Amino acid sequence: MTGATGNVGRQVVVQLLATGTAVRALVRDPEAVGLPEGVKVVGGDLSEPKTLEGALKGTSAVFLVWPLLTTEAAPAVLEVIARHAHRIVYLSSSGVNEDAERQTDPINQLHADMERLIEKSGLEWTVLRAATIASNARGWAEQIRTTRVVRGPDMAATAVVHERDIADVAVRVLTDDGHVGAKHVLTGPQVLSRAQQIHMIGEAIGRPVSFEEVPVQVARQQMLADGRPPALVEALLASVETRPASNVITSTVEQIAGAPSRTFRAWAQEHAEEFR
């Protein structure tokens, strides 16, 4: 497991443990994580492929969340994985356009490049192309708690998907044999704008919350002032400016996991205390 301490990865870990699957979590600092009992925590860094050899010994499948802004280290990482595991499941983006020579923004281009490298790796691969993940809304929590107004650049609406739905699918793909070579597009049941998501959070906490769009240049200055890496800021803002709206809603979650995808409204209700 990579990304085991993140919003999606943690859910995958919990659900794999529930199936009785042995789980090994790759983290940079094994002493600083709070993962469930039963997880074997091992140290390693995807930006330094040589650190992965020991962590991968004895593994059969890898859930890969790529945290870097380039694919420079990816070929070496995939070589190490292929020496030990036989299966890889990669968390990608529903914004990847299979037919495009170049993607609309740097983040989708990164995912498209990673997908191509994985396809050539010799591993049994499956790609999970997720729409906007509901837990991204946690980034608004401080503004909602303190001002009841979320200020930021707007972004094209998508069918926001609950991280537990991604995990439900990931667990089945990691443990079943019927998904090799598949690219599954995972969405929630409703296309939502940022303003609509914020309104639903307000309903969940019982207080009105509004969205105030700010120009990209203002957002850039604030993100840099907050200490975000410049390369990340530019990649995120390029997505804001160029990513097209998507009306795609799939039934993939229900087909694979056996239950309809969860709504963002349900997510907001589950996490209401984080925003109060």
14 CB-near residues (< 8 Å, 6+ apart): 36, 167
What CATH number should be reported for the domain holding residue 80? 3.40.50.720
pLDDT value of residue 222: 87
Cα separation, 133 vs 10, in Å, equals 14
Three-state DSSP at 178 gives: coil
Domain count across the chain: 1
pLDDT in tens, the chain (276 residues): 999 999 999 999 999 999 999 999 999 888 777 888 999 999 999 999 999 999 999 999 999 999 999 999 999 999 999 999 999 999 999 999 988 989 989 999 999 999 999 999 999 999 999 999 999 999 999 999 999 999 999 988 999 999 999 999 999 999 999 999 999 999 999 999 999 999 999 999 999 999 999 988 898 998 899 888 898 888 888 888 788 888 999 999 999 999 999 999 999 999 999 999
Three-state DSSP at 45 gives: strand
41, part of any domain:
yes
Give the residue from 61, 106, 262, 96 showing the smallest Cα distance to 183. 96
pLDDT value of residue 86: 96
Cα separation, 149 vs 212, in Å, equals 7
229, part of any domain:
no
115, part of any domain:
yes
81, part of any domain:
yes
Give the residue from 123, 127, 94 showing the smallest Cα distance to 243. 94
Half-sphere exposure of 62 (CA within 13 A, CB side): 28
Q: Residue 90 is part of which domain span?
A: 7-130+162-186+248-260
pTM confidence score: 0.94
pLDDT value of residue 182: 98
121, part of any domain:
yes
28, part of any domain:
yes
C-alpha dihedral, 140 to 146 to 150 to 151, nearest 10°: -110
